[in-house]
């Protein structure tokens, strides 16, 4: 029995293409000492992993040609050499894009059997936790403030907006199509949405934020960050979460005008963050998120494809804005 994988064929030059990946069969891995063997049920595709393909990452195991593509997955333990994890447990871990993964137990989180494991790829996983800490901890919006979020229909963005509503804020989402915008308002309770591809985007943003913007959650950088800077109120905060506008290219734009001039004039704070700095507080966050899911205050949008072979195209499509909510690849094994 073999282990089907999606390997990085080459680091992309310019825009990512499906041909930058290839399917391959590897020998079935075995659980070593202190390890578990996980059969992958599904994994999430997230824009942030595109940054790791730019070849500048230098940590051990950084993406490179010949490696299995990295990503967060959920699965079932089929063999265990770890005392606290049993065969049959559902777990979440950085399985990567493959059918089976042998992983050190310390990097594996057992999922409460009461929970749908797919939630650990969305609201209870990396995306939901990123929204939670990046919004509530980094920029701490207050009731009545206006919160703007970019890539608002994306895996992180659609949860940021809903969490801001739970906090009692006015919420404006920026996304790349009118259909997505309608969905944010009609299904998720956003107050307004703005399509950044519209020729009148800047004027529309102005009209959608009549009281200015107090907190901007930035998933994109680039032009949308620039437009937000000009709408920020005195004392405004910007959570810098990601730079999706700059990932899929070899020629990143310069930073937006207004940095640092507008930061000074309006006493703005821009703060970058990475989720793993909050690892000690994941459990606390998951309690909140789980209660919001149960009460119906938080809706998780998913967008699924099936089979490892579909993953490369699903990633290319996501980078051009094709997804709504969390893009998940379910394995048909």
Terminus-to-terminus CA distance in the chain, angstroms? 13
- Nearest approach in angstroms of CB 215 to a second copy is 15
Which of residues 34, 260, 332, 333 is near a second copy by CB under 8 A?
Answer: 260
- Binding a second copy by CB under 8 A: which of 25, 277, 287, 332? 277
Q: Are strands 73-80 and 213-218 parallel, antiparallel or unpaired?
A: unpaired
Answer yes or no whether residue 62 interacts with a second copy by CB under 8 A: no
Q: How far is the CB of 166 from a second copy (least distance, A)?
A: 24
Chain centroid, CA 22 distance in Å: 24
Tell me if 267 contacts a second copy by CB under 8 A. Answer: yes
Q: What is the Cα–Cα distance from 45 to 128, expressed in whole angstroms?
A: 14
Q: Does 154 bind a second copy (CB under 8 A)?
A: no
Is residue 61 close enough to count as binding a second copy by CB under 8 A?
no
Q: Mapped to the 3 state alphabet, what secondary structure does 152-199 carry?
A: CCECCHHHHHHHHHHCCCEEEEEECCHHHHHHHHHHHCCCEEEECCCC
Query: How many whole angstroms separate alpha carbon 327 and alpha carbon 305?
Result: 8
Beta bridge partners, 148, equal 172, 216
- Per DSSP, the three-state class of 258 is coil
Minimum CB separation of residue 90 from a second copy in Å reads: 31
Mask of contacts with a second copy, 10-49, x by CB under 8 A? ----------------------------------------
Closer by beta carbon to a second copy, 183 or else 243: 243
Q: Which stretch binds a second copy (CB under 8 A): 94-102, 158-166, 246-254, 321-329?
A: 246-254
Nearer to a second copy, 94 or 259 (CB): 259
Question: Which segment (36-44, 177-185, 253-261, 308-316) binds a second copy by CB under 8 A?
Answer: 253-261
131 binds a second copy (CB under 8 A): no
Using CB under 8 A, which of 79, 263, 305, 310 touches a second copy? Answer: 263
CB of 262 to a second copy, least distance (A): 8
Q: Is 84 an interacting residue with respect to a second copy (CB under 8 A)?
A: no
Contacts of residue 81, defined as CB under 8 A and 6 or more positions apart, other chains included, come to 31, 32, 33, 34, 35, 36
Concatenated DSSP letters of 290-323: HHHHHHTS----EEEEESGGGHHHHHHHHHTT--
Rule CB under 8 A: which of 165-224 touch a second copy?
218, 221
CA distance 205 to 331: 40
Site for a second copy, rule CB under 8 A: 51, 218, 221, 225, 238, 240-243, 246, 252-274, 277
């Amino acid at each position: 029995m073999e282990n089907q994988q999606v390997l990085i064929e080459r680091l992309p030059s310019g825009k990512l293409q499906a041909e930058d990946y290839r399917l391959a069969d590897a020998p079935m891995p075995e659980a070593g000492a202190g390890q578990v063997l996980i059969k992958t049920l599904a994994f999430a595709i997230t824009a942030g992993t595109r940054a790791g393909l730019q070849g500048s990452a230098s940590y051990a195991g950084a993406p490179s040609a010949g490696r299995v593509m990295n990503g967060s997955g959920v699965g079932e333990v089929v063999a265990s050499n770890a005392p606290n994890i049993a065969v049959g447990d559902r777990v979440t871990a950085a399985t990567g894009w493959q059918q089976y993964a042998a992983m050190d137990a310390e990097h594996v989180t057992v999922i409460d059997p009461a929970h749908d494991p797919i939630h650990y790829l969305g609201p209870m996983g990396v995306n939901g936790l990123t929204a939670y800490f990046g919004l509530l901890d980094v920029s701490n919006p207050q009731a009545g403030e206006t919160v703007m979020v970019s890539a608002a229909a994306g895996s992180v963005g659609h949860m940021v907006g809903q969490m801001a509503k739970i906090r009692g804020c006015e919420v404006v989402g920026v996304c790349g199509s009118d259909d997505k915008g309608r969905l944010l308002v009609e299904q998720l309770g956003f107050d307004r949405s703005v399509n950044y591809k519209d020729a009148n985007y800047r004027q529309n943003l102005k009209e959608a934020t009549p009281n200015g913007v107090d907190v901007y959650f930035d998933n994109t950088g680039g032009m949308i960050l620039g437009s937000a800077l000009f709408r920020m109120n005195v004392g405004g905060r910007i959570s810098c979460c990601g730079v999706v506008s700059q990932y899929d290219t070899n020629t990143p734009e310069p930073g937006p005008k207004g940095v640092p001039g507008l930061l000074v004039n309006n006493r703005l704070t821009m703060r970058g963050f990475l989720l793993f700095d909050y690892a000690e507080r994941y459990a606390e966050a998951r309690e909140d998120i789980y209660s919001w899911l149960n009460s119906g205050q938080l809706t998780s949008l998913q967008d699924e494809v099936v089979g490892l072979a579909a993953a490369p195209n699903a990633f290319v499509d996501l980078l051009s804005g094709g997804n709504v909510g969390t893009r998940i690849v379910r394995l048909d094994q």
